[in-house]
Structures are given as structure tokens and as C-alpha cells.
Structure 1
Amino acid sequence: MDIKQLRALLAIAETGSATKAAELLRIVQPAVSRHVRLLEEELGVELFERERHGMVLTEAGRTLVEYGRRALQELDRAKAEIKPASGAISGTAVIGLLPSTCELLAAELVATVKARHPQLVVRLNVGYAGNLLQWLEAGDVEVALLYDTKSSPGLHVEALLDEQLYLVGPAGTFAPGEEQTVERFRGLPLILPNAPHGLRSVVEHACAVAGITPVVAVETNSLAVQKNLVGKGFGHTVLPSSAISEEMETGVLAGAPIVSPNLSRRIVLAHAATRRLTPAASFVSAELVALMKRLVLDGAWPGASWISA
């Protein structure tokens, strides 16, 4: 088994065709087919089912693709780390972002990185905290933003900021500067993430302490759907300001901080303690922290307070 064979396997898995894989890899189609045939002979299993409309991974093929992708990622990171420094950073940095932070961070982070190091590729993987933690542990992302996670022997965590949570409703629901309490949840139809999402747990815990049974009207694992349903009047939700900054500015949604009890979440930056960061990932994570600090201190991240040194 060699690198060329693994790259051929991944290319066919991505495109569903040996011909398209050959175009992607810029080699001839018989070479791609030969790489996969040699893999199958070595392992003694079929990696693809050859169907009329393309090539579909078998169970064994899916397993090898999963491990093969991680192996190639590790090799690419090693090459980037040992390549002689020339002042410019290249390679790929795989960063995990929370859905609620993307509107504030993604575009400006990419613009900053590209201005400094045009050859550096930023890969932004977006997911809820539980998914991001799994991706970190598996090596699918190098650095990720998480909520309220503690350091452990396998995970290095740096606390960055505390973020106020807002009760969010349709346009005109709250007056400017208005504040809300958890008591407002009583009987209020809520649109919340699926359990056991961290935000759902925060809301349910606050309601339990207040003796309130939350009325969950809709569950969704999509932030966009969550905000769309609120905007159309199907209920209220609870989100940090970073997730609704644009909608509040344009008047699509209204939000009021929840102050009694104060509901907030802590955002941390995490990476695997057992895996060295590539120069690309180190640079991008440093720029990400600097960007977040600037947004908080400039007042562009309402309801957030900076806690990192």
C-alpha cells in the first residue's frame, strides 16, 4: 500500500468514477484503476461496487477511505512542518468553527490570512461543539472553537471569552436596551437545537432551576432554520449575539440579553495535546484569537467579555 494508491482510492470515492478521478489527479485512467486493483489484491476485499452509474464504496472501502484520509492529512502536515522556512507559510490549516460564530469570524479571518500568506489554504469545518470535539479527537480538524470545555490529558484548552445569551424573537419584539429574565420562558413557544446540544442544556437547566417547563415548539439542528422560523413568528429562541448580529442590524430579528439569572457561555480554543500543530494551523489559530479579541474590545461583539490573557 502506498500514497499513490490511497490518493486514487480517495479520488474515486469523491468523484464516483475512475475517469473523473484520473482527471482530478492528472494521470491516465488505467493508472487509477491499477492502483485500486492492487489495493484490493493486497487486502483481499473489494473496495468498490462497479455499477452502471459509477463506482460505489463497499463497507471495506468506506473503512479504508476513513483511515486513508487521516493518514494523508498527517503526511501533509508533516511535510508542511519540516519544509524549510522561507518567510511565507503554505499548506492547509483545518479550523473548526461554531455555527454561531461564523458570521462574525469567517470572512475576516480568511481575508487576513490571505493578505499575509496567499499560499496558505484555510479549511473551515463548521459544526456544533460535540461534533467539533469528535473531529478534534479524530484529527479531522487541527484547532476548534468549543463551548465550556476543560483541558484534559488529550486536549489543550485556552479560555477566550464569555458570551451573553439573548432571547430572540421576530422584528419589533423587544425595545432597544430591553432585558429579559428566564421567567419570560414560561409558556413561550421555543425553537431550540436538538438535545443534547449545549445551548439546549443551558436553557433546560435555567428553566429547571426556575421551576418552568419549557414549551419546545420546534427542534432543529440548523442555525439558519432556527433563525428563519423565529423571523416568521413560529416562536422564540436563545442564541448568542454573534449568531444574530446581522439580523439585528437589519431589523429581521430582535434580541434582549437574559440577565436574571445571567445566561452566558464560555468560548474556548482547543487542539489535541498529543498532536503538534503545523505552522499553517498555528498561524491561523493565532490570527483567529487576535480577531476575536479585537471584535470584543472594539464593541463589535455585543454581550461578549474577553477573559484570555
Structure 2
Amino acid sequence: MDLKQLTALVTVSDVGSVTKAARLLRVVQPAVSRHIRSLEEEIGVRLFERTSQGMTLTPAGEILTERARRALLELERARAEIRPDRGQVQGIVTIGLLESTVEILAAPLMESVARRHPGIDLRLLSAFSGHLQQWLDDGAVDMTLLYNLASTPSISVTPLLHESLWAVAPPGAALGDVGSLTWDHVTRQPLVLPVAGHGLRTLIDEALGTAGVEPTVACQTNSMLLQKKLVSSGTGWSVLPAAGVAEDVATGRLSGGPLTDPEVSRTVVLALQRGGRIPAAVEVVATEVFRVTRRLVENGAWPTARAVERRD
């Protein structure tokens, strides 16, 4: 098993075609086919189902491709770290962002890392908290934002900030003009909510139970973008973290404001795996995450957020 075989495996799995993979790798098609065939012979199982629609991974192929992708990434990281020193921290760093923080955090973080540490290749992945934690466990990300999570034997967690949940409605509702938004007020409207089992939905259900109110659920979805689109179209109101709707409220695409009675907040944390050597590039990006989030809180760009003091 060699790097050319693993590269061919991952590329064919990504594009679903030997011909397309050969074009991307800038080699002839028979070479890619040969790498895949020799890999299958070495392992003793079929890695792809070959159909008229293209190449589809078998269950065995999915397992090997996941491991191969990780191995290739680690080699790429090693090359970046040991490249001749240009007087700056270098390397590849992959960070997971909660979907609700992407609009407010992604661009400032990228700009700050590029300006202060141009030798770092920063890669951003976005998902819900459960997926991000799994990616951290699997090594697919070097660090990730999560919420309401304490440190575990395998994960080191440092709180960044506390932020409130907001009621979100179509622009005409003018929630910003309402003195106090209670859960009773919100549940008079049909609600567009995350699906059951989602971490945010758990917070919402706990608050509804404390308030003693029963909502009418118009729709459930696993997409925050879809939640906002449905609210904007008048399907119902919703409840979302402040970071996820700050820009929409500021530009008038939605109206919103923090909920009270009970007030509900979540703690956004930065999580890294425990054990092993932490590359310098990962350490400086973690510092930039703290720096940027604090700046966003202090200048009011992250509404109703309260920074947590960092303890080194």
C-alpha cells in the first residue's frame, strides 16, 4: 500500500469516476485503474462497485477511504510543519464552527489568522454540535466550537462566551420594539423549530417546560438556514442563538430579540483533543479564536454575548 494508491482511492471516491480522477491527478486513466486494482488485490476485497453511473464505494471501501483520507491529511500537515523555517508558524489547521456562528465568526477569524499568521493554512468546517464533536473525536478537525459541554477524559474544553437565545419573527413583527419577549408571547405563534434530539431543541424544550407553555409546532428542520427562510416567509416564529440571527436582524430581513421568563443562554466553548503534542499552528489559531470572539463581544457585533475570562 503506497501513497499513490491511497491518493487514487480518495480521489476516485470524491469524483465517482476513474476518468475524472485521472484528469485531476494529471495521470493517464490506466494508471488510476491500476492503483485501485492493486489495492483491492492487496487487501482482498472490492473497494468500488463499478456501474454505468460511475464508481461507488463498497462498505469496505468507505472504511478504507476514511482512514486513507486521514493519513493523507496527516502527511500534508507534517510537510507543512517541517517546511524550511521562514520565521513564522506554519501548518494546516482545521477548525469546526457551529452553524449558528458561521456568519458572525468565519470571516473575522480567517482575516485575523491570515494577517497575523500567513504561514497557516486555515480550513473551516461547519455543522451542528453533535457532528462537530464526532469530527473532533475522529481527528477530522483539530479544534471545534461546541456549546454547553464540559471537559471529558478525551476532550479539553475552554469556555469562550455566554449568549442568549432569541425569539425570531418576520420583519413586520418588529420584535425589537417589544419591551419584554416572554416564552408565553412567542408560543402564541406557530413555531419553526430544530428537530427533536438537536442540542438547541433540548434547550428550547427545557425552557418551554419551565415556562409551562405548550407550543404549536409548524415545522421541524435540521437546517438553521431553512429555519430562517421559513420564518421570513411567514410560516412561523422561531428560537435561535443570537449569533445566528444578528446580521439578519440588523439588516431587517428578520426581527428578533432576547427571550425572558425564563431567560435561556448557552455557553460556547472551544474544544481540543487531550493527549499528544499540540502543534504550534493549532495553538496560535486557538489564541486567535479567543482574540476574535472577545473583539466581537466587546464591539457589540455578537449581541447579548458575555465573554468568559480565559484561564491559562
Give the TM-score range, shorter chain. over 0.9
Residue 162 of structure 2 is matched in structure 1 by 162
Residue 254 of structure 2 is matched in structure 1 by 253
Residue 112 of structure 1 is matched in structure 2 by 112
Query: Pairwise mapping of residues 36-75 of structure 1 onto structure 2 (< 5 A)?
Result: 36-75=36-75
Shift of 1:268: 0.2
Query: Pairwise mapping of residues 121-132 of structure 1 onto structure 2 (< 5 A)?
Result: 121-132=121-132
- In 2, the alpha carbon distance for the partners of 1:175 and 1:39 equals 61
Q: Is 137-146 or 169-178 further displaced after alignment?
A: 169-178
SS of alignment partner, residue 308 of structure 1: coil
- In 2, the alpha carbon distance for the partners of 1:113 and 1:175 equals 34
Q: Does 1:293 align with 2:290?
A: no
Residue 265 of structure 2 is matched in structure 1 by 264
- Structure 2 letter corresponding to 1:192: L
- Structure 1 letter corresponding to 2:245: I
- In 2, the alpha carbon distance for the partners of 1:83 and 1:158 equals 31
- Structure 2 letter corresponding to 1:235: G
Residue 148 of structure 2 is matched in structure 1 by 148
- In 1, the alpha carbon distance for the partners of 2:251 and 2:266 equals 25
Shift of 1:84: 5.0
Residue 188 of structure 1 is matched in structure 2 by 189
Residue 88 of structure 1 is matched in structure 2 by 88
- In 1, the alpha carbon distance for the partners of 2:296 and 2:257 equals 20
8 Å Cα contact 2:191-2:219 kept in structure 1: yes
- In 2, the alpha carbon distance for the partners of 1:131 and 1:308 equals 27
Shift of 1:137: 0.5
Shift of 1:148: 0.6
Shift of 1:208: 1.1
- Assess, with a 3 A threshold, how the Cα gap between structure 1 residues 158 and 36 changes in structure 2: closer, same or farther: same
Residue 180 of structure 2 is matched in structure 1 by 179
Residue 229 of structure 2 is matched in structure 1 by 228
- Assess, with a 3 A threshold, how the Cα gap between structure 1 residues 38 and 82 changes in structure 2: closer, same or farther: same
8 Å Cα contact 2:92-2:120 kept in structure 1: yes
Identical residues among aligned pairs (%) = 47
- Structure 2 letter corresponding to 1:197: H
- In 2, the alpha carbon distance for the partners of 1:278 and 1:8 equals 28
Q: Does 1:306 align with 2:284?
A: no
- In 2, the alpha carbon distance for the partners of 1:19 and 1:90 equals 34
SS of alignment partner, residue 125 of structure 2: strand
Residue 24 of structure 1 is matched in structure 2 by 24
Q: After the TM superposition, which segments of 4 or more aligned residues of structure 1 sit over 6 Å from their partners? A: none
Q: Does 1:207 align with 2:208?
A: yes
Q: Is 78-87 or 298-307 further displaced after alignment?
A: 78-87
- Assess, with a 3 A threshold, how the Cα gap between structure 1 residues 103 and 59 changes in structure 2: closer, same or farther: same
SS of alignment partner, residue 172 of structure 1: helix
SS of alignment partner, residue 123 of structure 1: strand
- In 2, the alpha carbon distance for the partners of 1:5 and 1:233 equals 52
**Matched positions, count:** 309
Q: Does 1:283 align with 2:284?
A: yes
Shift of 1:5: 1.2
- In 1, the alpha carbon distance for the partners of 2:26 and 2:119 equals 21
Residue 138 of structure 2 is matched in structure 1 by 138
- Assess, with a 3 A threshold, how the Cα gap between structure 1 residues 264 and 31 changes in structure 2: closer, same or farther: same
TM-score by length of 2: 0.92
Shift of 1:182: 2.2
- Can you give the 5+ residue segments of structure 1 that lack an aligned partner in the other structure? none
Residue 242 of structure 2 is matched in structure 1 by 241
SS of alignment partner, residue 141 of structure 1: coil
8 Å Cα contact 2:112-2:292 kept in structure 1: no
TM-score by length of 1: 0.93
Shift of 1:118: 4.0
